[in-house]
Structure 1
């Protein structure tokens, strides 16, 4: 990306805008992020609409700042960050609003994680808010899986980077995770209490498994590594025939409740982030599942179509049941019915599947994180779909 300090984009030849140290996949994501950039706010957007509207970027401030922190996390693994991106300045401008915007607790976890990976200081007002969140264990009852997973991951990352202030919260958080979020099925619950907890998403499994891997490795706690590995083993067994990662699970029984929506970011970003850890700890089939899932976005899917928008460097968000493009109500009702009827989620006829024409900046951030340092999968990172050989 080429952006002046005042936010004005530079017009340069295409060849000059592609850092040579990066893989074609990473440069593809960097090019896409240029489309999502909001120069007046110094952040990346909530949604880039792909339906041809004249103003495709949609800004939602509390989401923008979280997505921007997610993108910066990815930047920490990029070999050659484009010279127009002032990572420290963007971090500073987008971490401070966490204290005044209505954001979920996981945004603070992302701030911890991103700051640690980039070697940046967290502003004192944000630290103060974090201490309030972490010190009152009664408030943890309201945590969802993503809140807990990102906070624990961020704490481990900070401690690994030498910021020991946060480590005292790690063991209590992990104990809470183990006692209230882990199911005997081998999957994770979405919440510590209530009817909703058993209805968990792929994101639930990803964020809590990564947190367990991170904590288990750093703390030398084998139980955390076993929980993460068991979850990954089960996810690989539940992966769809063309590499689809299911969206909705019954954590109590360990069954798929609904495959849809099948999100591109899970295929190329979040699953690879998790499976990188699984590979490190010897989980059989992890790399094969990663490759199979990634190939889904290249056209090995129900619709037989690419999920890329090469002219923009963006990706199409998901494949979804056509009649659910504008409402989630049927999906919720179907999940409840499948639980009580003991039905398992299956793929439907492709004639009833459509695509959600949007891209979110954090999705591209996960590409940067998952593939910024990988050199062992050239069939993905240098695939011709991204301009590679």
Structure 2
């Protein structure tokens, strides 16, 4: 592995806030939410070690008791390359002492390069794109083999998940200072812009028809978030008004559709800009994924949605459908989601079918019969990694638009 020195990190405490930082922006709009978020950032740092062992991150940790999620134990399960990459990126924006404490003496750059090595043999295009992005951003390394894999994938014109395409664009933007990513940038950008619907929303696959007749009209929250983020970041490094306009349209759409308690809903109809099914509401959307996209949009000179961001964070502690906070300080986790009391995502399937038949068509009474409020007592590492990344990655525009840097190839 190549040892890469870290860039200067921003402090997260109140005394260390930059005048134009993301946290300072939140404090100016919602002081109480800002104070709570500082607590969540510390919770993330304390919670990640229980999810990490020997350079690997678990797929999830689950509650081990039946005390209503108030603490006294979680159990780590599985291994996830994607989540390890997410954590490497988030931790790269903490100070080196924190990184080494959480990663058994190693740095986030070390973890990013380990993940890039693992991704070489991965058949998961999302993991490949994430690894290329993180190696470039967190370690300053251009992973030529991973970028070549992504170019070949997009040049094949095979259908691709919208999230994977968005991550590919973000990787291309992050790597542009280190190597030639112009072809990849163009391919990913054009796929996204072509797939965006008339109300600013993106489908789940590109092209949308790859999702099948009953789901071609649907895009999930993640599809909107990462597309917005990728196009906003592209506009940071190039004069591309179409990319920024598309990012603004997507960001505006999810904020227009935000729930009355600050919920970021789950499934949207790309044809008419409405919500198909709101549940589950995922905690990571509320405090990390929604903010990371909208903050990048703000940093790119796009629309400012800080008030919507604050409402989303406030949902965690309530009022919410569960009637209690999703934050478990005793175990240093944030419980994963609030879902309906239903068998096997039944309402989602029903809503997909009815809206496929006619936009806006809903079966009456579903909310009453399958009421929301069930908490999923698990927490996945990427939730805490993305929390750190969303709120600590200040100065992104300056970092991405800086002059060319000498590429350092990772050993093949």
Give the TM-score band, short-chain normalised: 0.7 to 0.9
Asked if residue 43 in structure 1 is aligned to residue 63 in structure 2, the reply is no
Structure 1 residues 142-291: aligned runs within 5 Å? 142-159=159-176, 162-179=177-194, 181-193=195-207, 194=209, 195=212, 196-280=215-299, 286-291=305-310
C-alpha displacement at 1:280, in angstroms?
A: 3.0
Secondary structure of the corresponding residue to residue 303 of structure 1:
coil
Contact 1:186 1:227 in 2 (8 A): yes
- Listed one character per residue, the Cα deviations across residues 11-44 of structure 1 (whole Å, up to 9, x for unaligned) are xxxxxxx9x97943322101111121123xx211
Q: Which of residues 102, 105, 117 is equivalent to 1:96? A: 117
Match of 1:70 among 86, 89, 97: 86
Post-superposition offset of 1:286: 0.3
Task: Calculate the TM-score normalised by the size of structure 2.
Answer: 0.76
Distance 2:81 2:123 in 1: 11
How much has 1:138 moved relative to structure 2? 4.6
d(CA) in 2 for partners of 1:67 and 1:24?
A: 22
Question: Any conservation in 2 of the 1:68–1:361 contact (CA below 8 Å)?
Answer: yes
> Aligned partners of 1:373, 1:91: CA distance in 2, in Å?
16
Cα distance, 1:374 vs. partner? 6.6
Question: What does residue 27 of structure 1 align with?
Answer: 42
Deviations 1:212-259 (A, max 9, x none): 101122121001100110111111110000000010011122110000
Query: Contact conserved, 1:297 with 1:307, CA < 8 A, in 2?
Result: yes
Contact in 2 for aligned 1:43/1:94 (Cα 8 Å): no
Residues matched between the structures, number: 343
Q: 1:234 to 1:108 in 2, by over 3 A?
A: same
1:282 offset after TM fit, Å?
A: 5.7
Are residues 1:371 and 2:385 paired?
A: no
Q: Does 1:117 align with 2:133?
A: no
| C-alpha contact (below 8 Å) 1:46/1:67 kept by paired residues | yes
C-alpha change, 1:374 and 1:97, in structure 2 (3 Å) is closer
Change (3 A) 1:279 1:189: same
Cα distance, 1:279–1:167 mapped onto 2, change above 3 Å = same
Distance 1:343 1:107 in 2: 35
CA contact 1:233–1:283 (8 Å) conserved in 2: no
- Cα 1:240–1:310 shift into 2, 3 Å: same
**Whole-angstrom distance in 1 between the partners of 2:100 and 2:119:** 26
Match of 2:156 in 1: 139
How far 1:141 moved relative to its partner? 2.6
SS in 2 for 1:332: helix
* Runs of 4+ that moved beyond 6 A: 344-347
2:374 is paired with a residue whose SS is: strand
Deviations 1:155-207 (A, max 9, x none): 10111xx212223321232122212x111121112222313432110000001
CA distance in 2, matches of 1:338, 1:263: 23
Shift of residue 94, structure 1, vs aligned partner: 2.4
Question: TM-score normalized by structure 1?
Answer: 0.81
Task: Provide the C-alpha distance between the structure 1 equivalents of 2:394 and 2:232, rounded to a whole number of angstroms.
Answer: 19
Contact 1:29 1:313 in 2 (8 A): yes
Which segment is superposed worse, 276-285 or 43-52? Answer: 276-285
Q: Quick check: 1:313 aligned with 2:332?
A: yes
Of 350, 353, 370, 1:333 maps to 350
**For 1:82 and 1:167, how far apart are their aligned partners in 2?**
33
SS of the counterpart of 2:61? strand
Alpha-carbon RMSD:
2.7
Partners of 1:344 and 1:242 in 2: how far apart? 24
CA distance in 2, matches of 1:174, 1:131: 17
Residue 155 of structure 1 contacts residue 166 of structure 1 at CA under 8 Å; is this kept in 2? yes
Q: List runs of 5+ in structure 1 lacking aligned partners.
A: 1-17, 376-389
- d(CA) in 2 for partners of 1:134 and 1:190? 20
